Structure 1
Amino acid sequence: MSNCSVDLNLNFPEETTMDTILKTAKHPCYSECAHDYARMHIPVAPRCNISCNYCNRRYDCLHESRPGVTSEVLTPEGAYKKYLLVKDKLPNLKVIGIAGPGDALANFEETKEAIKLIKEDDPELTICISTNGLMLPEYAQELVELGVRHVTITINAIDPKIGALIYKWFHYQGKVLSGEEGAKILLDNQLEGLKFLSSKGVLCKVNIVMIKGLNDHHIPEVVNKVKEHGAFMTNIMPLIPAEGSEFEEMPLVSNKELNELRDRCSLDLKQMYHCKQCRADAIGQLSQDISIEFRGTKTDQGDENKSLVDEIKSSDLLFAIASKTGRLIDQHFGHVDNFLVYKYTDQGIALVDNRSIERYCIGKECEDKEAKIKNIVDLLSDCEAVLSMRIGYEPKKKLLENGIKSLEIYDGIEDGIEYAIKELGLKDVG
């Protein structure tokens, strides 16, 4: 193992315990000399509460390595059993991380349960989570009580005007927000949560996605602001233009540009230079992801390793919404690359997921329609209906053949779902 030592002159919060400092020396993301130690990301958090313009969360993508990608979603019990298998094979396992594929705090009950199960087995393991920070003020104290001592927060801007260009919508306290209003709430919650966690001795790493021509000039300001609020280090990462995302055509950042900015910001705060932008189900050392060796592992748990969204379908009604704004049903079915999935119950209507797809129509011609509609049907198989502003005859027919109704409507999302419930004769269901 690496002989990692800890520089006690680093920017540790005053309340940081020596135990946390020593564990940091064995955390591959927080200490570059900890490269011999392994970490395991458990993908128990599929839902996300914000829509980033650079994100396209695709499941079952075995050949990509970027945040938000996973080959499966696990229940807390499934994650625990898989952890036991990994622990048995990797004696150098020191860190369990929850990094999606959505947001750890948008799935807090699952995140909390997974942490409790694993901590009961090994209280000495380092547990860390990654979050966009929207729900940090609500859950920060519970994270401290759970023994989480390392938290990564993605903060891409401290100017709401820039934030409004990076994010499409925010689902917060039952409302879908957008623009500068949503970006301001996100920023305020991020900074409040960061300050609180730091005051409790939690080491906070701030991830910043460097988007050329959009926030690159602004990043030194971000670094200084998060330093003021107690950040231990920042990790400036290059944008990965994900196919199907709003930013898929954005220019790439060169390694030279990236490291020059990191060097500049290192004068103010410790920087991470060795990030691999890992998958949400990564296992092993940073330099050697061996998660593929554990994919499809049998854990004698029956149906426990199913999508957490799948658990909803037996008791609730799910609706797939075609929306450009995140507030209205205002998009043509053929132009959708990200369906919002809402749950309807007697208690109300709530956003539970967003699901990325390959767009059914691109340009004037729709190629490979059969394959695309099959993928869409598979992705939305648990949904009662698709609500869009327009939908063509063929996809409407294919959806119906697979038990998925469709309705053309232009309205607010919640009002549209209420209308669909009545129009499709579902009022007494659920």
Structure 2
Amino acid sequence: METTTTEYTNHPCFGIAARKQFGRLHLPVAPRSNAKVRFTSNARPQPAMMPEEALSWMEQVIDNGMDIDIVGITGPGDPLASPEPVIRTLRMVRETYPDMKLCLTSIGLNGAMHAPELADIGLSHITLLVDAVDPAVAEKLYAWVRPSTKTVSLEEGVRKLLDEQAAAVSAFSKAGITVKVNTTVYPSINAGHVESVAKTVSELGASMMAVVPYIPTEENHEISRTDQGLLSTVRECAAAHINLMPAWDECGESIVGTEMKKPSMGGVTVLPKPTPERPNVAVVSSNGMDVDLHLGHAAQVMIYGPREDGLACLLEVRDAPEPGSGVNRWKQLSSMLSDCFVLLAASAGERPRDVLSRNGISVLITDGGIEGTVDVLYGGGKKGKKKNTI
């Protein structure tokens, strides 16, 4: 007879009733993926937010009356593929909200080396995505695995992944962090293998397991959806080795609090706001009408701000620092824009976004008209004719 854990009944992320009662906020600050399952969506993920932007969004969500009990980092990439912005975000949340529960979801590559630091921050629990413990099964699941920035063969990548997943389960458990393993049941691929996964991760120190059905994406129908009968059978087998979460109930980066949507200019208000110290908006444009330039290609920056009567208008145009000096170029730009709270660009690299964000300037990626977008930033109701997106 299948059993489930009761130890974490009232935890915000464990148990159906608890997950409906507690507010959760997923901060999309993980910029890079280090593996891809063959049967998942091929859609390009949205760009990650900078840590400072994520904290600002969180503060707005809470100021707007949402009760948030736990903050998680689940995407858009893997939190441990580029750990620096993720750890920086967690530290800022911990400093701002000392009693907030923190968690993250990862496949586990690089996990063991970061377990002590994450324990020091006070991570409540980690969810590790483990779909196989046998390389032969894993090779059928993954399209590619990239343990570092260097491309390796699928065979080498899969073996590295399984070794590091095992090390991560053990390291997080020993560090005092609750380890939950999510295993997706792919019919005809790993359904008969899930019991081995449960036994292995339990012996390594995992506290519980969630058995998740595979749901095909619109563009991927290579294998069928996991039916309820198969899911029940797999759960019965897994439950012989590890405590199971109650029947699967979706938890992911799309869940914000109990109702709110992911941040976007057209949805939840996540826009940076002017301050007395930083009242202006910086814009890069080729024609003076649309936000249509990559930040790295901009020779000039247009500065918009409020006039004496309060209406926003073009105040001046400043020459951007010359390219070729690497990170110093973005430091110079940050200094040059010390009176600006946001910079609008059609696209921008991760390095300039990081440098500008650390210096108090959010980079808003948009293809909207300048007049409409600036109006929105100052609280107006008018938007550019084109879609504005972060």
Counterpart of 1:131, as a letter, is S
Identical amino acids, percent of aligned pairs: 27
Given the superposition, is the C-alpha separation of residues 32 and 276 from structure 1 closer, same or farther in structure 2, using an over 3 Å criterion? closer
Identify the residue that residue 243 of structure 1 maps to in structure 2.
218
- 8 Å CA contact retained: 1:40, 1:284: yes
Is the contact made by 2:68 and 2:257 (CA closer than 8 Å) also made in structure 1?
A: yes
Query: Aligned partner of 1:261: which letter?
Result: V
Residue 94 (1) aligns with residue 69 (2):
yes
Query: Is 2:296 aligned against 1:314?
Result: yes
What is the aligned partner in structure 1 of residue 270 from structure 2?
297
1:204 aligns with 2:179: yes
Q: Which residue type is aligned with residue 41 of structure 1?
A: H
Which residues of 2 match residues 177-256 of structure 1 at below 5 A? 177-244=152-219, 247-256=220-229
**Range moving further from structure 2, 126-135 or 166-175:** 166-175
1:351-430 maps to which residues of 2 (within 5 A)? none
Query: Which sections of structure 1, spanning at least 5 residues, go unmatched?
Result: 1-5, 11-23, 60-68, 305-311, 316-344, 347-379, 384-430
Question: 2:86 aligned with 1:124, yes or no?
Answer: no
Task: Note the C-alpha offset of 1:163.
Answer: 0.5
Match of 1:145, SS state, is helix
The corresponding residue for 1:133 is: 108
Shift of 1:277: 3.3
Unaligned ranges ≥5, structure 2: 275-279, 283-293, 298-324, 327-345, 350-390
1:78 matched to 2:60? The reply is no
The DSSP-based 3-state class of the residue aligned with 1:206 is strand
In 1, the alpha carbon distance for the partners of 2:22 and 2:64 equals 13
Quote the offset at 1:289 in angstroms. 5.4
Residue of structure 2 in register with 1:104 after alignment? 79
Secondary structure of 1:129 counterpart:
strand
- Alpha carbons of structure 1 residues 290 and 193: separation in structure 2 relative to 1, 3 Å: same
SS in 2 for 1:283: coil
State the shift of 1:50 in Å: 1.2
1:275/1:87 CA distance change after superposition, 3 Å = farther
Runs of at least 4 residues of structure 1 off by over 6 A? 301-304, 380-383
- The question of whether the paired residues in 1 share the 8 Å contact of 2:16 and 2:249 is answered with no
Tell whether the 8 Å contact from 1:198 to 1:204 is kept in structure 2 after alignment: yes
What is the TM-score with the length of structure 1 in the denominator? 0.59
Secondary structure of the structure 2 residue equivalent to 1:284 = coil
Assess if the C-alpha contact under 8 Å between 2:179 and 2:206 holds in 1: yes
Amino acid at match of 1:30: F
Aligned residue among 40, 45, 52 for 2:25: 40
Partner of 1:27: 11
Question: Shift of residue 313 of structure 1?
Answer: 6.9
Supply the distance in 1 between the matched residues of 2:255 and 2:281 (Cα, whole angstroms). Answer: 22
Task: Report the structure number with the largest CA radius of gyration.
Answer: 2
In the alignment, is the contact (CA less than 8 A) between 2:126 and 2:178 conserved in 1? yes
CA distance in 1, matches of 2:43, 2:63: 29
By how many angstroms is 1:255 displaced?
A: 2.1
Give the number of aligned pairs.
Answer: 281
The secondary structure found in structure 2 opposite 1:120 is: helix
Corresponding residue for residue 55 of structure 1: 40
Residue correspondence of structure 1 range 264-303 to structure 2 within 5 A: 264-285=237-258, 288=259, 290-291=261-262, 295-300=268-273
Give the Cα separation in 2 of the matches to 1:139 and 1:128.
14
Q: Normalization by structure 2: what TM-score?
A: 0.65
Structure 1 residues 57 and 142: alpha-carbon distance in aligned structure 2, compared to 1, 3 A threshold: farther
TM-superposed deviation, 1:180 = 2.7
Deviation at 1:46, TM superposition (A): 2.8
Q: Is the 8 A contact 1:284 1:291 kept in 2?
A: no
- Cα distance, 1:167–1:202 mapped onto 2, change above 3 Å: same
What do you get for the CA RMSD once the two structures are aligned? Answer: 3.1
Q: Render the CA deviation track for 1:302-342: whole Å, top value 9, x for unaligned.
A: 899xxxxxxx9739xxxxxxxxxxxxxxxxxxxxxxxxxxx
Aligned counterpart, 2:332: none
Do 1:36 and 1:92's aligned partners in 2 also have CA atoms closer than 8 Å? no
Secondary structure at 2:93's aligned position in 1?
Answer: helix
Secondary structure, counterpart of 1:221 in structure 2:
helix
Offset from partner CA, 1:164-218 (integer Å, 9 cap, x none): 1111222223421233321111011011011011112110110111100000000
Q: Whose relative contact order is higher, 1 or 2, with alpha carbons under 8 Å and at least 6 apart?
A: 1
